[in-house]
Structure 1
Amino acid sequence: MPMLSGIRIIDLTTVIFGPYATQMLADLGAEVIKVETPGTGDISRYLGNGVPDPTMGSIHLTVNRGKRSIALDLKKPENAATLRELIATADVFFHNVRGRAIARLGFDYEGCKALKPDIIYVHGTGFGQDGPYADLQAYDDVIQAATGTTSLLPRVDGNPSPRYFPSLIADKIAGQFGAQAILAALVHKLRTGEGQEVEVPMFECFASFMLTEHLRDAALDPPIGPAGYPRQLDPTRQPFPTSDGHLAIVPYTPESTARLMALLGSADLLETPEYAEAKAKGQHMPIIYSEIARKTPAKTSAEWLAIFAANDIPAMAARDLQDIREDPHFVATGFFRHRTHPDVGTFHEMQPPVKYGAMPPRDLGFAPRVDGDGAIIRAELASDKA
């Protein structure tokens, strides 16, 4: 039996942050009812090409699988009444509507607690609600900028122009914090019978994630050095060229560094005064990286990988995104599954990456159409009242 079987989550979130969180819980067996705007649905439906239906975009298939959809215009009294009925049956209500707006609709924590005293009420916010940014809108780019993430690439390459990391990384990290928060609140409820209000702010979540290494010596009071983890910001820390591609090579320990230098024919480098002086200052990695880059073009990627595997040196080929589906490891583990959606056609679906001994793999439900389950959900509510 799926581990979250019997847990009902009413999901009023949109875009990536909230749907990514509830996606992970749906994969674990929770019943997730996605509440959407009539007609258009969640904006995440339009991320990626939807063929033949534009509301069934490829990213929607990824972040909303296994959920049910009901379309409700919450400004209409009869639709708001339906949501109240759903909340009364739920374990969790998760939304990312700004505080004042959700209160006007009557679905703030106190309003929902009156419907279900033990409800776990999760508010996904842009910024913590106790600070001056509480009412500001937040998207991934905004959070990357606000947390200093856009200053990382300039530190690497010297180009002073701030740049975004090319991923919806802030949304997804906040989503992981959201899923964790819901699971923790569910454990608390199992132990005490109590629901609670939970706030998951993107700004604080992503700052916690990004600054784990990059606050560094600026964390001390007074600071003993600048923010930024030098090893990650070293411009020589790049995939290394081979005769036919590039490799990631990580000499992380003194032992693996010595083995690698010996394999490259550069063991003497570690005995030079220049290296000893740089190592004493913690500034030796650029010397190592530069030497690796000088030597690796002598062989093909496959030749180097065979040598490194035989000598316990961490290394992998630098792959192109377009080729990832064909990776032999993913093929062997079944990470990508070829499926046929009844409305969209065939597609490649990533499987949940974590495996549980007590929960065998199972068929995951497809992402729903807008209001695809609305009639059934309304009938279920009517049956419960009968």
Structure 2
Amino acid sequence: MSGLKILDFSTLLPGPLATMLMADLGAEVISVSAPGRPDLMNGYPPIIDELGISATSAWLGRNKKTICLNLKKPGAVAAVKKLVHEYDIVVEQFRPGAMKRLGLDYETLKKENPALIYCSITGYGQNGPLMMRADHDINYVALSGNMLMMDREDPQTLSIPNFHLADIAGGGYMATISIIAAVQYRERTRKGQYVDVSMFDGILPFACVEGAGVLASRKYPKGWENLTVSGIRNGPHYDVYETSDQKYISVGPLEPKFFANLCIALELPEWADGSILHQDPEHLRIVLRKKFKERTRAEWAEIFSKTEACVEPVYDVSEMCASEQVVARKMTPQVPIALDREKSIEQIGNPVKLSESPVEYRHTAYPSGYHTRDILGAIGFSNQEIQDISQ
């Protein structure tokens, strides 16, 4: 993505993740922060001493430059209008209408650069009855139908995902895909466009299997009977079981051949034909719970490493980072610290793998506003003007 220049006005996770992915791929990104408006991502410990920012911020700001602008000041607005002549992709993450009140909306900025690609990331998009509503990841997951799909045997107990489903998949990834599509369109037509990313829209496809059936039949499968039989929902052969050392193993042999391998490995060959799944699935669940309690997680992992049964250990994040698969895929690269390139820290890598143009990890984030004077000075602002509009 070399040659693409992005102004990133976003904070928290969705927008910064999208622009980081593109920066890893060669885009030149300037992150624009506001004085007196700290980014909550910088409050997550630990703090990188050399930078004075959190490890999370050091990751999200990877390969970017950073300036500080008080967008409520006319001079700062004028600076942005100058920058969009060169930085021709804008990413912002305010509520609908906020950038317009600042005089920095798409319609205004495209007058400065008709080829501008302008991406707005919001919870619910730029229209609809919820467009102005203040919500977070948990609310998008709830409204999208995905939370109820995580229920277990007790319908009164709902599972809350302890990860940022809407922020990352619905926001960061969808913004990246949408911007790349807009860039491709501009390459063909020389026309920019407005990109409306809704985090809520972005996670609706997670309900695709069930949603397709509901839309086709207008019926909601009570108790998920059809999906339980296939094992996709609450089937005993698509579940997590505790081991003797209070750790867990994941079991997912949906296909008959894999289920047969599971039964053989567990010394239950009489069930290898799969008939137990239809005759008495709850008895199977009871037996599996008892069986997996007989050995440690490591012992079961060793046993199932020798057969294809779709059985794998449940890792915590530290175990994931140290796993052979993650290392082999180079997903925890050493990244030079921005202010001391002799030192480096491990970070989560970029999942994009391209044979001819691989990602580069040039440096971690800089402290917020580090490049303000250099970048604004280069477009004609005096030191006094820079001081005024950055405070």
Provide TM-score, normalisation by structure 2.
0.85
Task: Evaluate the alpha carbon distance shift between residue 297 and residue 178 of structure 1 in structure 2; reply closer, same or farther with a 3 A threshold.
Answer: same
Aligned to 2:326: 330
Partner Cα separation in structure 2 for residue 216 and residue 156 of structure 1: 22
List per-residue Cα deviations over 1:11-65 (Å, max 9, x = no partner): 1111111111111111111011111102554332223332448961121122221
Q: Name the aligned partner's letter for residue 350 of structure 1.
A: I
Tell me if the contact between 2:62 and 2:361 (Cα under 8 Å) persists in the aligned partners.
Answer: no
Provide the secondary structure at the position in 1 that maps to 2:161. Answer: coil
Provide the secondary structure at the position in 1 that maps to 2:162. Answer: coil
Partner Cα separation in structure 2 for residue 185 and residue 260 of structure 1: 47
Task: Evaluate the alpha carbon distance shift between residue 222 and residue 326 of structure 1 in structure 2; reply closer, same or farther with a 3 A threshold.
Answer: closer
Task: Evaluate the alpha carbon distance shift between residue 150 and residue 308 of structure 1 in structure 2; reply closer, same or farther with a 3 A threshold.
Answer: closer
List per-residue Cα deviations over 1:95-127 (Å, max 9, x = no partner): 112222211111222101101001111111211
Aligned to 1:234: 234
Aligned to 1:131: 128
Tell me if the contact between 1:16 and 1:44 (Cα under 8 Å) persists in the aligned partners.
Answer: yes
- Which one of the candidate residues 189, 194, 197 is aligned to 2:191? 194
Q: Does 1:71 align with 2:68?
A: yes
For structure 1, the residue ranges without an aligned partner over 5 or more in a row are 279-283
Q: Does 1:167 align with 2:159?
A: no
Task: Evaluate the alpha carbon distance shift between residue 148 and residue 55 of structure 1 in structure 2; reply closer, same or farther with a 3 A threshold.
Answer: farther
Provide the secondary structure at the position in 1 that maps to 2:8. Answer: strand
Tell me if the contact between 2:63 and 2:361 (Cα under 8 Å) persists in the aligned partners.
Answer: no
Q: Name the aligned partner's letter for residue 144 of structure 2.
A: T
RMSD, aligned CA:
2.8
Q: Name the aligned partner's letter for residue 72 of structure 1.
A: L
More displaced 10-residue stretch of structure 1: 303-312 or 21-30: 303-312
Partner Cα separation in structure 2 for residue 54 and residue 352 of structure 1: 22
- Which one of the candidate residues 356, 364, 367 is aligned to 2:365? 367
CA-CA distance at 1:360 after TM superposition: 4.0
Tell me if the contact between 2:146 and 2:207 (Cα under 8 Å) persists in the aligned partners.
Answer: no
Tell me if the contact between 2:256 and 2:274 (Cα under 8 Å) persists in the aligned partners.
Answer: no
Tell me if the contact between 2:276 and 2:284 (Cα under 8 Å) persists in the aligned partners.
Answer: no
Q: Name the aligned partner's letter for residue 84 of structure 2.
A: I
Task: Evaluate the alpha carbon distance shift between residue 101 and residue 115 of structure 1 in structure 2; reply closer, same or farther with a 3 A threshold.
Answer: same
CA-CA distance at 1:376 after TM superposition: 1.4
Tell me if the contact between 2:19 and 2:176 (Cα under 8 Å) persists in the aligned partners.
Answer: yes
CA-CA distance at 1:271 after TM superposition: 5.8
CA-CA distance at 1:75 after TM superposition: 1.0
CA-CA distance at 1:147 after TM superposition: 2.1
CA-CA distance at 1:170 after TM superposition: 0.8
CA-CA distance at 1:342 after TM superposition: 5.0
Aligned to 2:203: 206
Q: Does 1:141 align with 2:143?
A: no
Task: Evaluate the alpha carbon distance shift between residue 327 and residue 360 of structure 1 in structure 2; reply closer, same or farther with a 3 A threshold.
Answer: same
Task: Evaluate the alpha carbon distance shift between residue 224 and residue 370 of structure 1 in structure 2; reply closer, same or farther with a 3 A threshold.
Answer: closer
CA-CA distance at 1:216 after TM superposition: 5.4
Q: Name the aligned partner's letter for residue 238 of structure 1.
A: D
CA-CA distance at 1:80 after TM superposition: 0.8
Provide the secondary structure at the position in 1 that maps to 2:200. Answer: helix
Q: Name the aligned partner's letter for residue 218 of structure 1.
A: V
Aligned to 1:312: 308
Q: Name the aligned partner's letter for residue 13 of structure 1.
A: S
Partner Cα separation in structure 2 for residue 27 and residue 342 of structure 1: 14
Partner Cα separation in structure 2 for residue 233 and residue 356 of structure 1: 35
For structure 2, the residue ranges without an aligned partner over 5 or more in a row are 382-391
Tell me if the contact between 1:9 and 1:32 (Cα under 8 Å) persists in the aligned partners.
Answer: yes
Partner Cα separation in structure 2 for residue 34 and residue 275 of structure 1: 54
Q: Name the aligned partner's letter for residue 98 of structure 1.
A: R
Tell me if the contact between 2:63 and 2:363 (Cα under 8 Å) persists in the aligned partners.
Answer: yes
Task: Evaluate the alpha carbon distance shift between residue 162 and residue 263 of structure 1 in structure 2; reply closer, same or farther with a 3 A threshold.
Answer: closer
- The aligned runs of 1:30-179 (5 Å cut-off) are 30-38=27-35, 40-52=37-49, 56-153=53-150, 155-158=151-154, 160-173=156-169, 174-179=171-176
Provide TM-score, normalisation by structure 1.
0.86
- Which one of the candidate residues 188, 209, 215 is aligned to 2:211? 215
Task: Evaluate the alpha carbon distance shift between residue 297 and residue 216 of structure 1 in structure 2; reply closer, same or farther with a 3 A threshold.
Answer: farther
- Which one of the candidate residues 345, 352, 366 is aligned to 1:354? 352
CA-CA distance at 1:157 after TM superposition: 4.2
Q: Does 1:257 align with 2:259?
A: yes
Q: Name the aligned partner's letter for residue 158 of structure 1.
A: D
Task: Evaluate the alpha carbon distance shift between residue 15 and residue 52 of structure 1 in structure 2; reply closer, same or farther with a 3 A threshold.
Answer: same
CA-CA distance at 1:270 after TM superposition: 4.9
Partner Cα separation in structure 2 for residue 316 and residue 41 of structure 1: 41
Aligned to 2:385: none
More displaced 10-residue stretch of structure 1: 59-68 or 24-33: 59-68
Provide the secondary structure at the position in 2 that maps to 1:104. Answer: helix
More displaced 10-residue stretch of structure 1: 160-169 or 118-127: 160-169
Partner Cα separation in structure 2 for residue 167 and residue 315 of structure 1: 23
Aligned to 1:267: 269
Partner Cα separation in structure 2 for residue 135 and residue 168 of structure 1: 21
Tell me if the contact between 2:253 and 2:311 (Cα under 8 Å) persists in the aligned partners.
Answer: no
Task: Evaluate the alpha carbon distance shift between residue 166 and residue 214 of structure 1 in structure 2; reply closer, same or farther with a 3 A threshold.
Answer: farther
Q: Name the aligned partner's letter for residue 137 of structure 1.
A: A
Q: Name the aligned partner's letter for residue 156 of structure 1.
A: R
Partner Cα separation in structure 1 for residue 172 and residue 74 of structure 2: 31
Provide the secondary structure at the position in 2 that maps to 1:313. Answer: coil
Q: Name the aligned partner's letter for residue 215 of structure 1.
A: G
Task: Evaluate the alpha carbon distance shift between residue 148 and residue 380 of structure 1 in structure 2; reply closer, same or farther with a 3 A threshold.
Answer: same
More displaced 10-residue stretch of structure 1: 78-87 or 90-99: 90-99
Partner Cα separation in structure 2 for residue 188 and residue 13 of structure 1: 24
Task: Evaluate the alpha carbon distance shift between residue 377 and residue 23 of structure 1 in structure 2; reply closer, same or farther with a 3 A threshold.
Answer: same
CA-CA distance at 1:369 after TM superposition: 1.1
Provide the secondary structure at the position in 2 that maps to 1:353. Answer: coil
Aligned length: 372
